[in-house]
Amino acid sequence: MYKRQTQLQLQAKAADRDRAQAKKQQMEATAKALALENELKDRRIKELEAQVAFWQQQTQQLRDLDLENVAWELGLNYDQQRWRGHGHIINIDGSKFYDFAPDQQKGSWGAIDLVMHVNNCNFRQAVVWLHERFGEASVERAAIAHVKNRAADIIQTEPRPQFTPPVEDKANWSAVEHYLTQFRGIRSDCIQMLHDQGLVYADQQQNAVFVMRNLDGQRNGAFLRGTRGENNTFKGYEKGTKRRDSWFYFSLGGKATDKTSTAILCKSPIDAISRAMLEYLIRGDVPPERTVYMAIDDIKSLPVERLQKVPNILVAFGNDKSSDAAAQRVLELMPQSQIKKSKASDWNQQLLDYGRQLRQQHQHRSRMMN
How does pLDDT run across 110-130, given as a tens digit for each residue?
999 999 999 999 999 999 999
Q: Which of 193, 182, 209, 174 is nearest to 351 (CA)?
A: 182
Q: What pLDDT score was predicted for residue 48?
A: 53
Q: Which of 302, 240, 233 is nearest to 267 (CA)?
A: 302
- Let me know: does 166 contact 224? Beta carbons within 8 Å: yes
| pLDDT, tens digit (0-9, with 9 covering 90-100), for 203-226 | 999 999 999 999 999 999 999 999
pLDDT of residue 28 exceeding 90? no
Model's pTM, two decimal places? 0.70
Which of 37-41, 89-93, 185-189 is least confident? 37-41
Average pLDDT, the chain: 88
Contacts of 308 (CB under 8 A, 6+ apart): 334, 336
Q: What is the mean pLDDT of residues 36-56?
A: 61
Band (354; pLDDT cuts 50, 70, 90): very high
pLDDT of residue 52 exceeding 60? no
Q: Looking at residue 345, what DSSP letter applies?
A: S
Q: What pLDDT score was predicted for residue 62?
A: 44
Neighbours of 207 (CB within 10 A): 26
Helix axes 188-196, 269-283, angle to 10 degrees: 130
Amino acid at 29: A
SS3 286: coil
Band (60; pLDDT cuts 50, 70, 90): very low
Q: What pLDDT score was predicted for residue 8?
A: 64
Q: What pLDDT score was predicted for residue 47?
A: 63
Q: What pLDDT score was predicted for residue 119?
A: 96
Q: What is the mean pLDDT of residues 289-302?
A: 94
Q: What is the mean pLDDT of residues 57-66?
A: 59
Amino acid at 252: L
- Let me know: does 292 contact 284? Beta carbons within 8 Å: no
Q: Looking at residue 90, what DSSP letter applies?
A: E
Contacts of 105 (CB under 8 A, 6+ apart): 99
pLDDT of residue 252 exceeding 80? yes
Q: Give backbone dihedrals phi and psi of 315, rounded to 5 degrees, phi first.
A: -95, 105
Q: How far apart are CA 66 and CA 78, in angstroms?
A: 14
Q: What pLDDT score was predicted for residue 92?
A: 95
